[in-house]
Amino acid sequence: MEQLKKVFGLTMIALFTCYTIMAQDDEQISGEPVTITATYDGFTSNSYSFTFINGEGEEESIFFDYATDEVLKAFDLKSKKLEGKKFEVTYEETTETEEDEEGEELEYTKTTIISLKQLN
């Protein structure tokens, strides 16, 4: 039962991340860096949350599961001090696969912040 919860959780995170990224720009190729201007919302549930204005002029949230060591050394993203601050966020997506206990492959998109520049 515990393993089923883990698989379900990973699947939900992967689906939500994929949806968020695809909604932002359907033409981006996995692995190609993307830069957006976004407001930092904070660190919750093991992900870094930002809000940005998408191509249709609507506010949208994006969640990053990872950040490079350089980004984490420069910014304490787990601190509440940076919440509400505006950043230029450069990130990349990579598609990865994992094998579950039953031998089935699970594919998910890993989003990583590779550069962060505070704007205000």
Dihedral sign (CA 71, 75, 77, 83) = negative
The answer to whether residues 11 and 3 touch, using CB atoms and an 8 Å cutoff, is no
Number of domains in the chain: 1
CATH of the domain at 87: 2.40.50
User: Could you report the per-residue pLDDT of 49-98, keeping only the tens digit for each?
Assistant: 999 999 999 999 999 999 999 999 999 999 999 999 999 999 999 988 88
Q: Per the confidence metrics, is the pTM higher than 0.85?
A: no
Cα 117 from Cα 120, distance rounded (Å): 9
Give the range of the structural domain holding residue 103, as residue numbers without chain letter.
2-118
What are the start-end ranges of the E strands in the chain? 34-44, 47-53, 59-64, 66-67, 86-99, 105-118
The yes-or-no verdict on residue 46 having pLDDT over 50 is yes
Report the DSSP pairing between strands 86-99 and 34-44. Answer: antiparallel
